[in-house]
A and B are shown apart, each in its own frame.
Chain A
């Protein structure tokens, strides 16, 4: 199937369409072609329950004039339909002159580790992986009652051409394996969730095995059987390494996306060079980590991914830029223009966002807390980028008493204000690691895969939203 899509549009056809898009005088036109073939295989109640095949194929055409964007798309690749989409996009411009466009192809360095492409993998191999996960979760503990597992993989082929003459292609692998386990004891039910994957080939699961992923999900479900109600009120919070990086994504990352800053709606607008966090805080967004879930060889506007310093020792250094906002802010795209599919406009987005290691051991960080909350992993988060208030939902959490982890705590929501929390970072561990590859960002309703990473971190005070008062 994927082979039928190698040459969807000729160079001449692309140049013609970009010319049609600029008929009314737009400043910039872009064509985005996508063909994505995904497979999903789902296990439920011990058996392979459902298989799915999905194809997204189509072209999106954008025209820009200043901060105005016109957009049209078509899943019908006939010349007539594509010209119609180009003319819809052109409508945003008024009364300019026609110009001709010529594009030439350039190559890009791959940031993926495709190995065994998923469109070459037999269904039998997928079935076996799910069955191994099911067996491993059930072996883990007698309290395991239900196991649900999902294997999702895709190959996305992208072609981007612009009126500036750029033509680039990208072929992106993505694998994702996730297990949900329900445990039960004395009528109390809890669940655990864990997944891993990345922009890699299927051989990834020879290293990180279905047994390990299912075992981790089962471990979390079983730990939660002994969980106590979360406390309510302000407490010191230690955030665990890896998945704790969701903190950076919500508390700081979204506020540094260039659309919000160009428009002046982010609390970080106009603050490059200013102190926005404690001097212990350095944050990178890196699209060039080979094989990671958030990595991009090129973004969805054809710009190569980059390693970007966002915050250096507490000082704001820069924003994540797409082409539109970079042009309006007189700077360059940082390879951050991403989109869910050809049906939507790209937005500036994060790739893999992380904080480098500090110099304390995790134990040394924990020992600084007499009574507090330990967030080992997060189930997700959300932020209001104007005020900076964010929440995240704890996947696995514990009480800290006298510098040690004690009772596990039931699902709590933590709430904080981005800049406030970042000034309260008082200790950073040396155990930085990237999280398991299972995170997806949903900005503006568009889903894109992202990565996060963090060393163990101490926040001196944060509101823990549990239900136990006092």
Chain B
């Protein structure tokens, strides 16, 4: 049962062919994952397992079906591949439904996907980091009197891909993350915050103490927050929140949405959409990036694609199917049956978040948002938010219980300042940036 991932993928491809598929592609993902949580002075969760799953895409004369399974027994796999190929026969013929044309993987240099300390670090040391974050949060301020837990997690993940046109490749990547979530007492109320970091390895990470302090500061600084007045104001998105906004924009840049016209960017290639500060890139080859890999989920080599250049929409991001549909080529962004980010980011400017605040006579800076109201087809965007009122270029007081609303297209055009503080800790990241005016709904 501990068969080589490439061999299991190869076997699934052979089974599909035997069932009558004229093309197929199989991916084995094997992830050895550790996770732990501390609360107070105790380890409250400890988990370690190897998860394995196989996914298969089979084409029968331009009809596509997929299979995902954790049942990897020989008899289970055989029956499921047969069921998958049979299901394909219910799908309508699509002339574009086929594997990507073979394309050699170029020499991409060292992508720095593995850091040895994920494997090398002992369990005791990881648990000590979780406990240290719990202590440091409480030491920061007496109002920190509880927590939602501090977490340390890591994984070593192998991806093996084989297709019936002769592609055969695999890579292994490591990841590690630390996070802390304090609860503070604010008079009769409770407040919480969350702060964490992810990297390819532990050595690249801020220290547990530093993560705990930032988390505690974020919760404590919000004490006494009130609702702001309704109005239109400049809005600064702090790095973590800015990354979420960029994630919403990714949806509109995805060729899967553009191809079905479920994007406000559809049909606007070459147009000036954003301000001059908006240069957005997807780079699958960024060394050490959390979205870096030599090839995408279809075995297409990853690359660097300019999506926006100084506000001008240059390219959408594609897997093979949606690229064919719009008469173009894959950008190496296939993921999980659709289009996904590699390292999708807003090109950083200069200076810090503090510099942005100092350059804002009146406005708000947002540190946290909740909700997920984004309509890709119109660009309509709104979220619940919390953060600080800025007066005279300085933080004046904390604010919460309000919403910010706008339209992604208008927001891109109104980006008037970008900081230089981007960190590549997830596949979609952004530096802090400012939007000249958005509707703030409070009292």
Contacts and interface: CB of A to CB of B under 8 A. Distances in A.
Interface of A: 1, 4, 35, 39, 41, 44-45, 47-58, 66-78, 81, 85, 88, 91-92, 123-124, 126-127, 145-146, 148, 182, 188-191, 230, 232-234, 263-267, 343, 345, 379-387, 389-393, 410-413, 415-417, 463-469
A112 B87 CA distance: 27
Contacts of A51: 64-66, 84, 87-88, 90-91
Contacts of A124: 90
B372 A57 contact: no
B378 A190 contact: yes
Given A75-B70, A466-B441, A52 B87 contact: yes
13 contacts: A50-B337, A53-B68, A55-B80, A58-B70, A68-B44, A69-B44, A88-B47, A189-B378, A232-B440, A393-B382, A410-B378, A465-B382, A469-B230
A261 to B, nearest CB: 12
B7 to A, nearest CB: 16
A353 to B, nearest CB: 19
Interface stretch (B183-191, B237-245, B352-360, B425-433): B183-191
B139 interface: no
B45 A387 contact: no
A73 B51 contact: yes
Contacts of B83: 1, 53
B4 interface: no
B261 interface: yes
Interface of B: 1, 39, 42-53, 64-73, 75-76, 79-80, 83-84, 86-92, 94, 146-148, 183, 189-192, 227, 230-232, 260-262, 337, 370-373, 375, 377-378, 380, 382-384, 386, 400-407, 439-443
Nearest to B260: A146
A463 B65 contact: no
A72 B384 contact: no
Nearest to A259: B148
A466 B149 CA distance: 35
A148 B262 CA distance: 11
B70 A233 contact: no
A232 B146 contact: no
A464 B227 CA distance: 13
Contacts of A386: 148, 183, 190-192
A239 B94 CA distance: 44
B191 A345 contact: no
Given A415-B402, A466-B382, A53 B375 contact: no
Contacts of B232: 469
A388 to B, nearest CB: 8
Contacts of B375: 191, 411
Nearest to B33: A343
A146 B259 CA distance: 11
A189 B183 CA distance: 43
A411 B43 CA distance: 43
A85 B42 CA distance: 22
B45 A69 contact: yes
B39 A49 contact: no
Nearest to A66: B42
A52 B405 contact: no
B47 A71 contact: yes
B230 A391 contact: no
Contacts of A55: 68-71, 76, 80
Contacts of B90: 41, 48, 51, 123-124, 126-127
